[in-house]
A and B are shown apart, each in its own frame.
Chain A
């Protein structure tokens, strides 16, 4: 059965929608910021005197950033697929379950883009700051 002849694909029910997906990417951005901040604060307080202390912090930042960007990218991809359901034409502001479904996907995609940029900005600090001082 093709997707066009699948009534569930063409007319999604609202119960299928996952609202949490909308704010998942900004939440990952917030967690990434907190993780970076707390790691730098604790590590520098305990081992700030040693030369290699900030190298460890930088490695931690890099790992957090890769994980966060992968998760945000995955959520963005889900949003992109969702906003392309049935048609990729914009706008999708009709008062129908399908358009609400597609709008949710589009908003998820945009918020994922914003969160990815913000996450990179947080990580950029570790590129320029080279010590716990």
Chain B
């Protein structure tokens, strides 16, 4: 008996507790569908919990019956009564339960798919290998553009217009709602309604190539006045460099040809291939939520791009020496 206890204790310490802790880690945090911060996510989480509770009851019942039949009352059972259990438990009960669950979950679909009221906030998001082009719309027309970060006012519905110019991606903010595919040649839509403030994480939920797992974005849900202030900042052109180092950085940005792919509003850089960098210094993360937003990360990204994000289109800039790299990184960091 003591041996059994010691084996169980060792097994629990080595396997059970770490596995349970790992699984429970998914129940909260910025990317958890089980810690909802939006109306759609709340509905989905409710469906999930009802299914979990129902499945647990069914599992306990089935295992209980198996223990009863094999351990508590082994031997032949009454034929007709066994038939009732087989037909009732094996055919009728699953049909009734599954029908109930199908109807219950389908009933949520209309509200999950409903369009927001006229005049609601609209944001166009394009999924590209492996980043997100985010365009805020004003009366259906582009207002300003940024990348890999979305800010939303709490308590207001927002409609996302989703598309992709390359391969199929899927737009998913687990804490706010369901996911919708982004299909080349089509525009799909998703309505979300954030219910509490916070910083959340969005992901691409459809395998889209080598760096699929490195295609994420930050979602900031904030009070309406903070959101309005952020809007005003994002609409403004890029800050002019004031220090010697950042001025040199801007010159390097121009002379290295960065503007052929990137845009920085208020300068001659107006490339459309890569992310808009007008306010890149103000973003939470770099490289589609891969690196912290600091000078060292800019340097790493420019010098070792393919190490950070395999197969990415941006070339590595080995032609810059250490001082030039620091200046360019300082300029980008100053674009807040």
* Contact surface of A with B, Cβ cutoff 8 Å: 113, 117, 121, 124-125, 127-130, 133
A115 nearest CB across to chain B (Å): 13
Q: Digit string of B291-326 for contact with A (CB within 8 Å is 1, else 0)? A: 000000000000000000000000000000000000
Interface pair B115/A128, CB less than 8 Å apart: no
Residue numbers in B under 8 Å from A129 (CB-CB): 106, 109-110, 113
Determine whether B72 belongs to the interface, using a CB cutoff of 8 Å to chain A. no
Determine whether B4 belongs to the interface, using a CB cutoff of 8 Å to chain A. no
Interface pair B115/A133, CB less than 8 Å apart: yes
Residue numbers in B under 8 Å from A127 (CB-CB): 106
Interface pair B102/A121, CB less than 8 Å apart: yes
Interface size on B, residues (CB 8 A): 12
The 9 closest A-B pairs by CB, nearest first: A128-B106, A128-B109, A121-B102, A117-B95, A129-B109, A128-B107, A124-B106, A133-B113, A124-B102
Q: Can you list 21 residue pairs at the A/B interface with Cβ under 8 Å?
A: A113-B91, A117-B95, A117-B99, A121-B99, A121-B102, A124-B102, A124-B106, A125-B106, A127-B106, A128-B106, A128-B107, A128-B109, A128-B110, A129-B106, A129-B109, A129-B110, A129-B113, A130-B110, A133-B113, A133-B115, A133-B189
B156 nearest CB across to chain A (Å): 20
Residue numbers in A under 8 Å from B107 (CB-CB): 128
Determine whether B103 belongs to the interface, using a CB cutoff of 8 Å to chain A. yes
Residue numbers in B under 8 Å from A121 (CB-CB): 99, 102
Residue of B whose beta carbon sits closest to that of A129: B109
Interface pair A124/B103, CB less than 8 Å apart: yes
Residue of A whose beta carbon sits closest to that of B102: A121
Distance of A124 Cα from B107 Cα, bound (Å):
10
Distance of A108 Cα from B202 Cα, bound (Å):
48
Residue numbers in B under 8 Å from A117 (CB-CB): 95, 99
Distance of A124 Cα from B109 Cα, bound (Å):
12
A72 nearest CB across to chain B (Å): 15
Residue numbers in A under 8 Å from B91 (CB-CB): 113
B228 nearest CB across to chain A (Å): 30
Distance of A97 Cα from B105 Cα, bound (Å):
46
A5 nearest CB across to chain B (Å): 31
Residue numbers in A under 8 Å from B99 (CB-CB): 117, 121
Distance of A113 Cα from B113 Cα, bound (Å):
32
Residue of B whose beta carbon sits closest to that of A127: B106
Distance of A121 Cα from B115 Cα, bound (Å):
25
Residue numbers in B under 8 Å from A133 (CB-CB): 113, 115, 189
Q: Digit string of B98-134 for contact with A (CB within 8 Å is 1, else 0)? A: 0100110011011001010000000000000000000
Residue numbers in A under 8 Å from B115 (CB-CB): 133
A110 nearest CB across to chain B (Å): 8
B311 nearest CB across to chain A (Å): 33
Distance of A133 Cα from B112 Cα, bound (Å):
11
Residue numbers in B under 8 Å from A125 (CB-CB): 106
